[in-house]
Structure formats: C-alpha cells, structure tokens
Amino acid sequence: MNNDSQNQEDNLINTSKSDDTSTQQHESDENTIEEQSGSNKTFRFCCMTFCIVITIVFIWVWHHQTQFNDNYRKASFLMRNGDPEQAILAYKKAIKNKNRTIFFKYAPSAYNNLGEAYMFADQYDQAITTFKKVIEIEPDIPEGYVNLATVYLRQNEPMNAREICKHALQSFPNAALLHYNLSCAYSLTNEPIESKKSLIQAIELNPDLQELAHKEDALKGIVTQLSQ
C-alpha cells in the first residue's frame, strides 16, 4: 500500500511538472508571436511611410518641373515677339520653379536667356549679374563669357569686355564670338592692329561673322582693312 501511494504521489508530481513546462512553453510561444507581430507592424509602417514620402517628392518635383517648362516656353515666345520685359518675368518664374525641383535645380540656359532679356530691355546691371551667375553655374561653356562681354560693350566698357574675352579665350580658344567681341573691344580702345588680328581669327572660325562685322559700328574701319 505504501508503495502504491508513493507511486501515485510521484505520478502527480510528474504530471504537475509536465503541465508547468507546457504552460511555460505556451507562454514563450505567445511572446515570440507578439514580438514578430510587432516587428512586422513596424516594418510595414516604415515601408508605407517611405512610399508616401517618395510619392510626395515625385509629385512636388513633377509639378515644379512642369511649371518651369511652361514658363520657359512662354518667355521664349515673348522674346521672339519682342517683349523682353514680360519675358524677364516669365524667365524668373521658370527659374524659381526650377530651384524647387530639389534634384535638378540649375538651368544655365534659363539664366543665360534671362540675361539676354535684361540686355534687350537695356537693364545692363541685371544682365551683368545674371551672366556672372551663368558662368558660376556652368564655367565650362563659353556663352556666359560671350554675353557678359557683349553687355560690357553695350555699356561702352571695352576694357572690361577685353579682359573677359582674354580670360575666357584661355579656356575656349576656338570660340569665334569671343574673338569677335575682343576685336570690338580693341577697336573701341583704339588698338586697330589687335582688333584686326582678332577679327581675322573670328572669321576663320566662323565665316558668317564677316557679314555681321560689316554691320558693326565699332568694326567699320577694321572690316575695310581685311581685303588689303
């Protein structure tokens, strides 16, 4: 009898231990599931937030790029129709929108065209500032230097035009318009020999400039010497 009682007690103890182990295992499994569920929720939230941010950025860039294109075309149309004042406003709106596109902020062609609009509107100080901006943004193209020298010539500042051309020609020796503007600058500073040399170089690079030179007041005395 004593042995039977002892065996029953042992069985009860083992059963209790087994139940405790099962309970602990169940609780551990539930905790693991809760942790995984929490991790999945965090991951899904991060993915959703990322997608929303990317979508917003895309819409923002697309909107301002579209506004840039529309205003740029409008400004170009106004310039072709001889309205530089309104073109200035349109180019400025285009540049403002371009600056908001985040990843594609700079548009040297827009600044260059804005400078030309200022020049045709006789707003020379603004034109100079704008062409300097073009050179800052895109120093590897000659257009900014050419147009800056042109503004100085229009302002009757041939010394400044000459320095700009000589500096730029170190980087762009084959830029015909730089040689042409340099010829104009030399002519206005009473240096006909240097003016003739520069004009010859300009025409060799671009023969069409000879016809333009015949219409240039600063080069009237120089052009006649070319055939001599």
Mean pLDDT of 102-107: 68
Reported as a single tens digit per residue, the pLDDT across 36-76 is: 566 777 777 788 887 877 777 667 666 667 877 888 899 89
∠ CA 132-180-109 to the nearest 5 degrees? Answer: 35
Res 130: pLDDT: 96
Q: Average of pLDDT values for 108-126? A: 93
Query: Is the residue at 10 inside a domain?
Result: no
The total number of residues shown for the chain amounts to: 228
* Domain boundary, last residue among 91, 108, 131: 131
> Quick check: 94 pLDDT over 90?
no
Q: Tell me: do 120 and 168 sit in the same domain.
A: no
Residue 156 shares a structural domain with residue 228: yes
CATH number at residue 63: 1.25.40.10
Say yes or no: 191 and 227 in one domain: yes
38 in a domain, yes or no?
no
Residues 165 and 227 in one domain: yes
**94 inside domain:** yes
Instruction: Kindly list the distances between the CA atom of residue 31 and the CA atoms of 25, 36, 41, in Å, as whole numbers in the listed order.
Output: 10, 9, 15
| Residues 52 and 98 occupy one common structural domain | yes
Banded model confidence at residue 17, pLDDT cuts 50, 70, 90: very low
* Sequence letter at residue 160: N
Q: Is residue 89 part of a domain?
A: yes
**Residue indicated by tokens 């040399």:** 197
pLDDT at 83: 93
User: Does 102 score more than 70 pLDDT?
Assistant: no
Would 146 be classed as within a structural domain? Answer: yes
pLDDT bucket at 3, cuts 50 / 70 / 90: low
Domain encompassing residue 111: 43-131
Determine the pLDDT at residue 12: 46
Q: Are residues 153 and 80 in the same domain?
A: no
Residue 81 covered by a domain: yes
CB contact at 8 A, 225 and 213: no
Judged against a pLDDT cut of 90, whether residue 26 lies above it is answered with: no
Per the structure, the count of domains in the chain is 2
Confidence band for 118, pLDDT divided at 50, 70 and 90 = very high
Report yes or no: 84 and 110 within 8 Å, Cβ to Cβ. no
Looking at the fold, whether 112 and 79 belong to one and the same domain comes out as yes
